Amino acid sequence: MEKIVVIGNGMVGYKFCEKLRAAAGKDQFEITVFGEEPHVAYDRVHLSEYFTNPSVEHLEMAPRSWYEENDVKLISGELITSIDRAAKTVTSYKGTTISYDKLVLATGSGAFVPPIKGVEKEGVFVYRTIEDLDAIIAYAKNTKKAAVMGGGLLGLEAAKAMLDLEQETHVIEFAPRLMPRQLDNAGSDSLVSKMEALGINIHMNKNTSNISGNGKMTGMEFADETSLDVEMLVISAGIKPRDELAKTCDLSVGPRGGIVVNDLLQTDDENIFAIGECALHKGMIYGLVAPGYEMADVVVDQLISKREKSFESYDMSTKLKLIGVDVASFGDPFCESTPHKPIIFEDKLEGIYKRINISEDGKTLLGGILVGDAEQYNMLLQVCLNGMALPPNPEDLILGARGGEELGMELPDSAQICSCENVTKGDICKAIVEEGLEDIAAVKTCTKAGTGCGACSPIVADIFNEQMKKMGVTIKKTVCEHFDYSRQELLDIIKVKKIKSYEELLDTVGKGDGCETCRPLVASLLASTWNEMILENGHDSIQDTNDKYLANIQKGGSYSVVPRIPGGEITPDKLIVIGQVAKKYDLYTKITGGQRIDLFGARVDQLPDIWEELINAGFESGHAYGKSLRTVKSCVGSTWCRYGLHDSVSFSIEVEERYRGLRSPHKLKSAVSGCRRECAEAQSKDFGIIATEVGWNLYVCGNGGSNPQHAQLLAGDIDSETCLKYIDRFLMFYIKTAEPLNRTATWLNKLEGGMDYLIDVVVNDSLGIAEDLEKEMQFMVDTYKCEWKEVVNNPELRKKFKHFVNTEIPDPTMKWDEMRGQKKPAEWGFPA
Amino acid sequence: MSEVLEYKTVKTEEVTNWFKAASEDAFPANGGAAIEYKGLQIAVYNFTRRNEWYATQNLCPHKHQMILSRGMLGTEGEEPKVACPFHKKTFSLKNGTNLNGTECELATYPVKVEDGFVYVGFAD
Ligand code: SRM
Ligand SMILES: Cc1cc2nc3c(=O)[nH]c(=O)nc-3n(C[C@H](O)[C@H](O)[C@H](O)COP(=O)(O)OP(=O)(O)OC[C@H]3O[C@@H](n4cnc5c(N)ncnc54)[C@H](O)[C@@H]3O)c2cc1C
Ligand code: SF4
Ligand code: FES
């Protein structure tokens, strides 16, 4: 049996053991691993998660029992201090000596600490191990201001951690920009503004000359004679490969550190390999985990005598994680010495910067930078790595194809999708076909794709869906794992079986205990069918959060209050009431885009009291929280306007009062304009009405929002009564047939036969269902009740509106700031 | 110190104090409600459909919102879970892991119901 000794039980050392055990039987190799750290190997890449979840188990690559089960002898807490190459033995500081046939050095690296005066002072830390983090967490309990030296990938991650530890945080960078190895100046500018928005102070062009303080550090001094008072410093100025052991046995090391290896990862001694962050390959240290795993693979390949693989240079594309800001760079981000044509998109308002470098012939993507929005990272990386042909307008790569078409870029089978586990697109497709995999979770388990850092998960899902489509498998539009039915089928079941509650439906045709997808969906179906009070009869636990509290939840957990103001018409007296209520409860007030008034910042326990006052003054719920009718906007119309043909205000009030409270697949909006100048913007609404000389034109399926679409004419020159009749039919038909969360515009776009078919159904009654639709709508109109009125008058329902059940105090963590004389909620999370 | 660090999972065998939180009916069927305990906010869930009770920190680790008690209950396969009202991150009620993302896990606490009262277990 061949004796393998591994020095270093870090990420790569562990992966090597795992791969070797997976490739060969236990009787072929005896494996011993030495680790200096007391813990079993842990995931250093996600080390920062330790700040929010200080559990070592959570980070472990595998539990200690894994080593036993796999016959891997782990000796942790023992530093190896010498190697005897002639005798082929290694010896630890405790004097343990053990012999090897093949030795693998996976000693990783340590933090590089620049030789600055005062670095030895108390309060100066590095950021590499769990012990480092424990020390930082303990020290930060007594400090308020911290600095991070180094504005690279790791430094920014450390800075975010300091912010989470409630420190006033500063980043000191020597270069004139952040992440100098990944970003250009404009990219860095964009990142700086994002970091500053998070509350992190950035200082660039700063050369630290001294760390001041007497024993404990109290500040930093810079070469430009400025200084900064901070009580703590985390140094993240680069890494220093751990090559000290290699030096003691005369293996070659590089001038700036690192154990020299060839393409087979052999050191000067063919029986000694070096892998991971300690290895210097072609003058390069790879400070990332994926190339380290690849190196482990290459060595395993040789040990089992396949000798097919050698290590080639590795892609260093990176995406910053954890910090709440999207930053990525790939390929050659600068192309300083390569002729190229850059395409740059910049949105200073949103802090977005994107740059892609296109080859001079316009045929390939050489590299790029993404700041503020890195959604396209995976796709761009693939295009770049695989030298794929570019679309006719390469700018589509970062702007998206305009005109609604898919980009239609198909990846070659050789495209590496998961770099952590080295899985290609071909591997994934093959596994789907050969193993008959039926869902994405199975794909991940079977191929390991997406089980490392997880960054490739979206693209794995795309490949899965694409492959399913190719195999002719139609993915049925079922609601979720609890119901094998579409929304439409569920609605039919509810009607036919007269099902009145979610639990009953789940027991009759569902399985399991439901989830956040099917519960609100069924809630909406029940409400559109039976129109019962949505907080009673067990309906409350299936409502989406806004419906559950009959108010829109806001940052910080407060709610907004929107009384209905039909048609946007309001009396001075009612305006005064709104003002008084807002003043009394200290609510932020704003005129909405829907011609009404929103009062923000109410605590959950204040909601019933606020509504009680509003209802007493004649207001009712505006359903701003529901997937239901929002507003029917109006223009001033013939009453005042010199062009007005009909009284648009009266008609909009009538329309709004008819459909108020109606639950639907998505929200509904409407408007009535008094003439074709269209001041109410009716043609952008789900249903919009415009006065004509002889009556009204009814338009449907318009949409503002993210994909604006003009409404189309359903019927022209009709009288008010016909108009309402058609709207009844139209809305009920939509409610019955739309997929969940599809607005009317999306619904129409998918409706076979399109507008002509819709006109046939609604106007010509081609399906013979018009009367039923009208009846069903009339039922909804007749059973309408203001939900808030019911809550205000029902002590049992009122009880639900409190933060704690065992004390009357409100949520003590709510925090407010001030802006232009009104309050506003404190920024998301992480209070400074 | 970051707020999340204050929340530490308590296992049943570690309980030294069964805190009498509130009567059973204070917790809505198939829903949750928050309780206050020594400055901590704990979300207690009454998963009536499964006849199970759970408790986790009330703080959602995603954007640090005190909100999970107002979340929606459900299951993913066999795993009971709660979905945060803000961005629908879901967490296992059994061990607090984030099921649809990479947020860090929730601290969980043991719950028992006796004589119509709900008790949450703490180790201090
Ligand atoms: C308050 C208001 C903004 C304002 O201060 O003016 C607003 C606020 C919100 N809108 Fe809006 N929209 C408001 C008018 C609009 C308008 C203008 C209009 O209605 O004339 C539009 C475009 C018209 C349209 O819908 O077609 C609009 C298009 C959206 C969309 C995009 C819908 C789409 O189909 O693409 C969303 C997202 C969604 O619903 O999924 C949205 C979602 C939201 C949500 C509910 C986001 C959320 O889930 O929290 C916001 C709630 C804020 C809050 O925290 O309470 N809001 N929103 C407006 C309330 C009007 C009202 O009185 O009820
Ligand atoms: C905070 C942080 C965030 C990171 N984020 C990313 C990221 O997002 N993406 C990415 O790809 N990479 C990231 N990295 C880098 C990644 O963690 C490393 O590339 C990876 O850990 C290298 O693995 P390794 O096994 O070579 O070294 P290490 O994980 O450092 O393991 C080496 C081990 O060997 C031990 N050892 C050394 N000498 C001896 C000896 N003589 N005897 C016994 N034991 C010894 C050490 O104590 C150590 O435990 C990050 C690193 C840090 C610190
Ligand atoms: S536009 Fe966006 S941010 Fe503004 S209110 Fe509407 S949803 Fe909120
Ligand atoms: S705050 Fe909970 S999911 Fe975002």
C-alpha to C-alpha distance for A794 and A783, rounded to whole angstroms? 18
Higher pLDDT, B2 or A620: A620
Which residues, 6 or more positions from A720, have their beta carbon under 8 angstroms from its beta carbon? Answer: A651, A654, A695, A696
Distance A309 CA to ligand 2 centre (A): 24
User: Does A420 have pLDDT greater than 70?
Assistant: yes
* Contact between A805 and B26 using a beta-carbon 8 Å cutoff: yes
Does residue B74 form part of some domain? yes
- Best of A141, A603, A804 to disrupt the B interface (most B CBs within 10 Å) is A804
Confidence of residue A408 (pLDDT cuts 50, 70, 90): very low
Q: Determine which helix (DSSP H) or strand (DSSP E) holds B111, and give its type and residue range.
A: strand B111-114
B35 lies in which domain range?
A: 20-122
Which residue from A164, A516, A807 is facing B72, i.e. has the nearest CB? A516
* Contact between B85 and A553 using a beta-carbon 8 Å cutoff: yes
Domain boundary among the residues A237, A253, A288 is at A237
Q: What is the mean pLDDT of residues A238-267?
A: 95
Does residue B14 form part of some domain? no
- The number of C-beta contacts closer than 8 angstroms across A and B is 123
Contact residues on chain B for A51, CB-CB shorter than 8 A: 2, 5
Does residue A630 form part of some domain? no
pLDDT score at B1? 37
- Quick: pLDDT tens for A315-331: 777 777 656 788 888 88
Q: Tell me how many degrees the CA angle B37-B43-B46 measures, rounded to the nearest 5.
A: 125
- Quick: pLDDT tens for B60-73: 998 889 999 999 99
Q: Which residue shows structure tokens 């795992």?
A: A18
Contact residues on chain B for A503, CB-CB shorter than 8 A: 49
pLDDT score at B3? 58
pLDDT score at A831? 41
Farthest CA pair distance, chain B: 39
Higher pLDDT, A443 or B75: B75
Distance A13 CA to ligand 2 centre (A): 9
| Domain count within chain A | 4
pLDDT score at A48? 87
Does residue A58 form part of some domain? yes
Does residue B48 form part of some domain? yes
The verdict on A209 and A253 lying in the same domain is: no
Domain boundary among the residues A430, A455, A475 is at A475
Which residue from A53, A800, A829 is facing B63, i.e. has the nearest CB? A829
Does residue A378 form part of some domain? no
Report the CATH number that the domain containing residue A94 is assigned in CATH: 3.50.50.60
- Quick: pLDDT tens for A719-769: 999 999 999 999 999 999 998 888 999 999 888 888 999 999 999 999 899
Which residues, 6 or more positions from A525, have their beta carbon under 8 angstroms from its beta carbon? Answer: A487, A490, A491, A494
User: Is any ligand 4 atom within 6 A of the Cβ of residue B63?
Assistant: yes
Q: What is the mean pLDDT of residues A447-455?
A: 73
Pocket test for ligand 4, best of B58, B60, B91 (most atoms within 8 A of CB): B60
- For residue A615, the distance in angstroms to the closest alpha carbon of chain B comes to 25
A165 lies in which domain range?
A: 124-237
Report the CATH number that the domain containing residue A467 is assigned in CATH: 1.10.10.1100
Ligand closest to CA A556: 4
User: Is any ligand 2 atom within 6 A of the Cβ of residue A7?
Assistant: yes
Report the CATH number that the domain containing residue B104 is assigned in CATH: 2.102.10.10
Confidence of residue A407 (pLDDT cuts 50, 70, 90): very low
C-alpha to C-alpha distance for A243 and A109, rounded to whole angstroms? 8
Of A439-443, A787-791, B76-80, the poorest mean pLDDT is in A439-443
Of A105-109, A475-479, A596-600, the poorest mean pLDDT is in A475-479
pLDDT score at A404? 37
Q: Quote the mean pLDDT of chain A.
A: 91
The verdict on A146 and A187 lying in the same domain is: yes
Does residue B11 form part of some domain? no
Inform me whether the C-beta atom of residue A830 falls under 8 Å from chain B C-beta atoms. yes
Q: Quote the mean pLDDT of chain B.
A: 92
Confidence of residue A566 (pLDDT cuts 50, 70, 90): very high
Inform me whether the C-beta atom of residue A410 falls under 8 Å from chain B C-beta atoms. no
Atom 46 (ligand 1): residue with closest C-alpha?
A552
- For residue A50, the distance in angstroms to the closest alpha carbon of chain B comes to 9
Q: Determine which helix (DSSP H) or strand (DSSP E) holds A358, and give its type and residue range.
A: strand A352-359
* Contact between A52 and B65 using a beta-carbon 8 Å cutoff: no
The verdict on A37 and A90 lying in the same domain is: yes
pLDDT score at A771? 95
User: Does A493 have pLDDT greater than 50?
Assistant: yes
Domain boundary among the residues A475, A504, A523 is at A475
Does residue A634 form part of some domain? no
Ligand closest to CA A627: 1
Q: How far is CA A661 from CA A499, A776, A783, B37, in A?
A: 21, 14, 10, 39
- Helix pair angle (A440-447, A425-435), 10° resolution: 110
The token pair that represents A724 in the structure block: 């309402």
